[in-house]
DNA sequence: TGGCCAATACTG
DNA sequence: CAGTAT
DNA sequence: GCCA
């Protein structure tokens, strides 16, 4: 230590990335975790790369040479944690800006060529003659037409009330889970049904929720918490979302702390927050959490392929804007992330229901033209009847009773979709197209529509016998899924996209660890899975987020 | 105080 | 394997 | 953060 000080170094009591220029590691007993911890980071990867971690040798050599070695990283001789610099600094020389940008488009193709599969030329976006025409009004009228459509034409509209009624009983009676202990119609059900629409803006005008302001504030807080890394914020976020659901479902205005606390999923802390919102109209906590770092991290997490950890790391490295990411030579973007940045706004936009429908109506005939016996279904929020969709999920399967399967279909389909200018970029390709079960993620757009946005699209293929499990799984919504999975696990089952398994043996202390995989007992249809779990069947539009 | 929000595929 | 995504 |  004294040696360092004598040679002009200064030691700081508290690690501050703006002050500290080097981290010197002495002794081999010092693991990376320890260093990261000292610096106030969870992991070494969180430490800004601008601050080198060097071994004591750097000091020793520096002193013996009379001056510090110029290139501390030359040969990696003094690097204390090689794995840290490796992933990013490797690119220092290789990636220049212009280079990086111009390769984005090409990367997609490289991505394809990398695999052993053959693809149509992506860059040729001109439309092929076989493309079915788009019904213009389906698109152009989408903006204003949706709400109207839901009121009048939407066959799903009538289901909302029933769903709302059931929901209300569950919440008010504190029923446990989705099981079907039917207490009979409640007289409040109808009154509540009218307000349930605030939960789902689609069927009608928003604004009927008596606690909308509270919901909004808590949702804001939820958003801020969600982008923080680590399991704790994740749990808190889940708690908030439960409280919000509960609040949304509550038919009456919350007036007191006791009112709030009575809601399932609302405890002391949240009740206090609710009171603060009622009294002041806002939440101090939101201002507190909404720091620059959180905002930037949120921005970065909007990039496909960037999660909490990567976003935080980039922030710690000094990046603040999307431009920074493209410019900073230390940042190495994956192919998917490049696409994610290029179409940042498109991808983070939701599409009108009509657009999802139009895309599906383009895609389905193309799939059927390959094999008319295919089962092609759109899932996700579209299947649940939502008025806008974040992405398109398409399930493909085929009844093998005639001895044929859907093997190889996905690859063929994707080639045609690329050719037709519908699928435009790929994000993740299946490991093996010959498999009967695989998943694809990419971007698509409406061809023939000037300025149509890129939309996220997923294709999933499953063996016929798993069709029900997959449908259930990918139709969601996520809270509904979790609820079902949770119930399944408490009943000794396990539910995944392949179906419902029985005889699963779990580690008693850590239930997530399965000691025994069990056997699938229900999977071909959604109905049989519901039945097996003793849950009354719910059509997709009733699988809306609700508390238990 | 510990569990909850699972289970699985692709990327690098 | 860690991170991300569904 | 909530709940058993």
Nearest to A123 by CA among A481, A454, A425, A375: A425
Considering only CA atoms, name the residue closest to the C1' of nucleotide B12.
A334
| Distance from chain centroid for Cα A401 | 36
- Of residues A70 and A503, which shows the higher confidence score? A503
Considering only CA atoms, name the residue closest to the C1' of nucleotide D3.
A265
Interior angle at CA A253, CA A249 and CA A257, nearest 5:
100
Chain position carrying tokens 């799939």:
A367
Say whether A300 sits in a helix, a strand or coil.
helix
Residues A508-538 have pLDDT tens digits of 666 666 666 678 888 889 998 888 888 888 8
Q: Residue A201 — pLDDT band, cuts 50, 70, 90? A: very low
The pair phi, psi for residue A333, each rounded to 5°, is -95, 140
Q: Which of A171-175, A242-246, A362-366 has the lowest mean pLDDT?
A: A171-175
Considering only CA atoms, name the residue closest to the C1' of nucleotide B10.
A428
Please state the domain extents for chain A.
2-152
Distance A6 CA to C3 C1' (A): 43
Is A231 exposed, middle or buried (CB count within 10 Å of its CB: 0-12, 13-18, 19+)?
Answer: exposed
Q: Can you spell out the DSSP letters for A219-272?
A: HHHHHHHHTS-SHHHHHHHHHHHHHHHHHHH--S---SHHHHHHSTT--HHHHH
Is A507 exposed, middle or buried (CB count within 10 Å of its CB: 0-12, 13-18, 19+)?
Answer: exposed
Give the mean model confidence (pLDDT) for residues A213-227: 92
Dihedral angle at the C-alpha atoms of A533, A535, A541, A543, nearest 10 degrees?
A: -70
Catalytic one of A273, A338, A467, A548: A273
The pair phi, psi for residue A194, each rounded to 5°, is -65, -30
Helix axes A231-249, A212-226, angle to 10 degrees: 170
Considering only CA atoms, name the residue closest to the C1' of nucleotide C6.
A474
A303 CA: nearest nucleotide by C1':
C4
Give the mean model confidence (pLDDT) for residues A281-289: 94
Residue A301's Cβ-side half-sphere holds a number of Cα atoms within 13 Å equal to 17
Contact A151, A157 (CB under 8 A): yes
- Alpha carbons A270 and A95: distance in angstroms, whole number: 48
Give the mean model confidence (pLDDT) for residues A207-230: 88
Q: Residue A110 — pLDDT band, cuts 50, 70, 90? A: very low
- Of residues A179 and A318, which shows the higher confidence score? A318
| Distance from chain centroid for Cα A358 | 24
- Alpha carbons A244 and A250: distance in angstroms, whole number: 10
A474 CA: nearest nucleotide by C1':
C6
Q: Is the dihedral of CA A121, A125, A129, A135 positive or negative?
A: positive
- Alpha carbons A146 and A425: distance in angstroms, whole number: 28
A308 touches strand C (CB under 7 A): yes
Contact A217, A283 (CB under 8 A): yes
A264 CA: nearest nucleotide by C1':
D2
Q: Mean pLDDT score of chain A, rounded to an integer?
A: 68
Q: Residue A330 — pLDDT band, cuts 50, 70, 90? A: very high
A441 touches strand C (CB under 7 A): yes
- Which chain D positions come under 7 Å from a protein C-beta? 1-3
Q: Is the pLDDT of residue A22 over 50?
A: no
Contact A477, A543 (CB under 8 A): yes
Helix and strand numbers, DSSP H then E, in chain A = 25, 14
Q: Residue A83 — pLDDT band, cuts 50, 70, 90? A: very low
Q: Which of A15-19, A372-376, A389-393 has the lowest mean pLDDT?
A: A15-19
Q: Is the pLDDT of residue A158 over 50?
A: no
Give the mean model confidence (pLDDT) for residues A302-330: 94
Q: Which helix (H) or strand (E) holds A23?
A: strand A23-25
A474 touches strand C (CB under 7 A): yes
Q: List alpha helices for A344-408, DSSP H.
A: 344-347, 353-370, 380-383
Give the mean model confidence (pLDDT) for residues A177-182: 30
Give the mean model confidence (pLDDT) for residues A321-339: 95
Q: Is A38 a catalytic residue?
A: no
pLDDT > 70 fraction of chain A, expressed in percent and rounded: 59
pLDDT of A227: 86
Give the mean model confidence (pLDDT) for residues A116-141: 28
pLDDT of A522: 82
- Alpha carbons A197 and A293: distance in angstroms, whole number: 35
Contact A346, A454 (CB under 8 A): yes
pLDDT of A515: 63
pLDDT of A325: 96
pLDDT of A462: 94
Say whether A306 sits in a helix, a strand or coil.
coil
Q: What pTM does this model have?
A: 0.66
The pair phi, psi for residue A377, each rounded to 5°, is -135, 140
Characterise A40 by phi-psi region: left (phi > 0), alpha (psi -120 to 50), beta (else). Answer: left
Q: Which residues pair with A458 in a beta bridge?
A: A393, A441
Distance A480 CA to B9 C1' (A): 22
Distance between start and end Cα atoms, chain A: 59
Residues A448-485 have pLDDT tens digits of 999 999 999 999 999 999 999 999 999 988 777 877 88
Q: Which residues pair with A377 in a beta bridge?
A: A395
Distance A411 CA to C3 C1' (A): 27
């Amino acid at each position: 230590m004294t040696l360092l000080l004598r040679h002009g170094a200064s030691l700081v009591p508290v690690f501050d990335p703006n002050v500290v220029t080097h981290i010197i590691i002495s002794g081999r007993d010092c693991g990376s975790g320890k260093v990261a911890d000292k610096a106030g980071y969870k992991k070494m990867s969180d430490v800004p790369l601008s601050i080198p971690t060097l071994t004591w040798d750097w000091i020793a050599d520096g002193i013996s040479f009379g001056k510090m070695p110029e290139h501390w990283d030359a040969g990696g001789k003094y690097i204390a944690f090689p794995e840290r610099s490796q992933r990013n600094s490797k690119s220092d020389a290789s990636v220049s800006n212009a280079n990086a940008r111009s390769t984005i488009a090409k990367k997609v193709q490289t991505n394809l060529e990398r695999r052993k599969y053959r693809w149509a030329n992506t860059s040729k976006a001109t439309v092929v003659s076989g493309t079915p025409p788009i019904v213009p009004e389906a698109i152009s009228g989408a903006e204003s037409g949706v709400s109207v459509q839901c009121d009048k034409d939407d066959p799903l509209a009538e289901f909302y009330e029933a769903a709302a009624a059931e929901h209300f009983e569950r919440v008010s009676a504190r029923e446990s889970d989705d099981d079907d202990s039917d207490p009979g119609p409640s007289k409040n059900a109808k009154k509540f049904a009218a307000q349930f629409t605030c939960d789902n803006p689609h069927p009608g005008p928003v604004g009927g929720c008596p606690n909308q302001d509270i919901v909004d504030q808590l949702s804001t807080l939820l958003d801020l918490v969600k982008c923080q890394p680590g399991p704790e914020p994740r749990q808190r976020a889940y708690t908030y979302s439960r409280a919000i659901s509960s609040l949304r479902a509550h038919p009456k205005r919350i007036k007191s702390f006791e009112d709030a606390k009575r809601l399932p999923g609302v405890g002391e802390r949240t009740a206090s927050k609710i009171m603060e919102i009622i009294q002041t109209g806002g939440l101090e906590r939101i201002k507190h959490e909404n720091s620059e770092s959180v905002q930037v991290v949120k921005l970065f997490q909007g990039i496909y392929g960037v999660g909490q950890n990567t976003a935080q790391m980039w922030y710690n490295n000094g990046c603040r804007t999307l431009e920074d990411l493209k410019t900073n030579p230390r940042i190495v973007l994956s192919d998917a992330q490049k696409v994610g940045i290029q179409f940042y706004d498109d991808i983070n936009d939701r599409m009108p229901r009509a657009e999802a429908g139009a895309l599906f109506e383009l895609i389905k005939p193309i799939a059927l033209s390959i094999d008319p016996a295919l089962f092609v279904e759109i899932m996700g929020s579209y299947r649940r009847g939502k008025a806008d969709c974040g992405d398109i999920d398409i399930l493909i399967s085929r009844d093998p009773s005639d001895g044929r399967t859907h093997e190889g279909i996905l690859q063929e389909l994707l080639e045609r979709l690329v050719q037709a200018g519908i699928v435009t970029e790929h994000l993740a390709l299946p490991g093996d197209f010959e498999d009967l079960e695989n998943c694809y993620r990419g971007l698509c757009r409406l061809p023939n529509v000037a300025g149509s946005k890129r939309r996220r699209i997923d294709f999933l293929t499953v063996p016929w016998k798993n069709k029900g499990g997959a449908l259930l799984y990918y139709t969601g919504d996520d809270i509904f899924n979790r609820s079902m999975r949770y119930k399944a696990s408490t009943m000794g089952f396990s539910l995944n996209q392949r179906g419902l398994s029985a005889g699963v043996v779990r580690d008693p202390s850590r239930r997530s660890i399965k000691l025994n995989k069990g056997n699938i007992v229900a999977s071909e249809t959604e109905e049989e899975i519901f039945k097996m779990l003793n849950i009354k069947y719910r059509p997709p539009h009733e699988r809306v987020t609700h508390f238990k």
